[in-house]
Structure 1
């Protein structure tokens, strides 16, 4: 990645995380939710810093976070002990992503967030899977695609 591509990627990562966090805060009416953005931040590093890596593929981003969120919420509901719930959620998310061929390491943080994310996250229950997780992943993907098309070509080049 040359300096121009790095700058475009960094700007894209900023825009993606800012927009995802902004809409999450508006929809969830909570302006103090750094844990929601934590896994989105890790995904942004992969999507914009390693755009051609297997873990950065759209399927991996969307399904990896989604399956991990489902597992995290389920572990929260089924296992009363937080340490045990978290310790079970991580390997289950790993296995789930492996079986669905959607390995995306930030999914581990998503599973943990469902368990330790606090009252706001717990109040959402399985809605956490859709908003903010699926919605944030979709925003990251859209911005990554836009940035990728801009980063991989020079729009100011004379094509004649």
Structure 2
């Protein structure tokens, strides 16, 4: 039992190759540099540097795990917008202190979930907006401008870099197909459709950073390799 508990703490093996790590690392560096630089041009370096933490976290999502549901365009734009608006409202009514910052990040999470734009770095942004440096605090509601400019720059960098390096971004949303994703394996078995996958994801009591399209593709690819393995086993037995 103790060994099993220790194994649960160990990191799972990654399924990406070192060349993909390098591709993502270059994208993260370029995307963050571009976003911070352009923000500093219009709003000054202190304001841009105040936002660099959430931007760096967003860059990792958009370049390293761009297929995830939390890394899609609406997630970063909507997440940054929700976090900033909620935090500025908290500042307006409650002021700038640690308790207000903690309240802001919790409220931002609820709004992001309601609007389906959950983006973890926006939580850090909510804290930074409340506990802002003097240059950022002086902007008041005008802080929305540098925040959204930075988010838009990061998104444009991800769109350009990912697609130029042959990584499809953003994920293409498709309506559930009636055809079975997993064909029936026994009489009376209805099989699994893409719509079934969507319902299953909706029933999970946890945040799952995977789209139904990715899950469907994973199942179809697994079926492909299973068929190849089955054919190989049959041929080896025949010989």
Give yes or no for TM over 0.5.
yes
SS of match in other structure, 1:51: coil
Moved over 2 A (4+): 1-6, 29-35, 150-153
TM-score (norm 1): 0.88
Aligned residue runs from structure 1 range 51-130, under 5 A: 51-80=66-95, 82-130=97-145
More relative contact order in 1 or in 2 (CA 8 Å, sep 6+)? 1
After superposition, the CA RMSD in angstroms is 1.6
Gapped regions of structure 2 (runs ≥ 5): 1-15, 168-239
Which residue matches 2:158? Answer: 144
How far off its partner does 1:33 sit? 4.9
Gapped regions of structure 1 (runs ≥ 5): 154-160
- Distance (Å, rounded) in 2 between the aligned partners of 1:4 and 1:151: 11
Kindly indicate which of the two structures has a greater share of residues assigned to helix: 1
When residues 32 and 142 of structure 1 are mapped into structure 2, their CA distance, relative to the original with a 3 A threshold, is closer
Which residue matches 1:134? Answer: 148
Does the Cα contact within 8 Å between 1:5 and 1:151 map onto a contact in 2?
A: no
The Cα offsets for residues 12-66 of structure 1, whole Å up to 9 and x where unpaired, read as 1111111111112221223575321111011001111111011001000110011
TM-score (norm 2): 0.60
- Distance (Å, rounded) in 1 between the aligned partners of 2:99 and 2:162: 40
When residues 81 and 136 of structure 1 are mapped into structure 2, their CA distance, relative to the original with a 3 A threshold, is closer
Larger Rg: 2
Does the Cα contact within 8 Å between 2:87 and 2:129 map onto a contact in 1?
A: yes
Number of residue pairs matched by the alignment: 152
How far off its partner does 1:113 sit? 1.0
When residues 8 and 97 of structure 1 are mapped into structure 2, their CA distance, relative to the original with a 3 A threshold, is same
- Distance (Å, rounded) in 1 between the aligned partners of 2:124 and 2:78: 14
Which residue matches 2:177? Answer: none
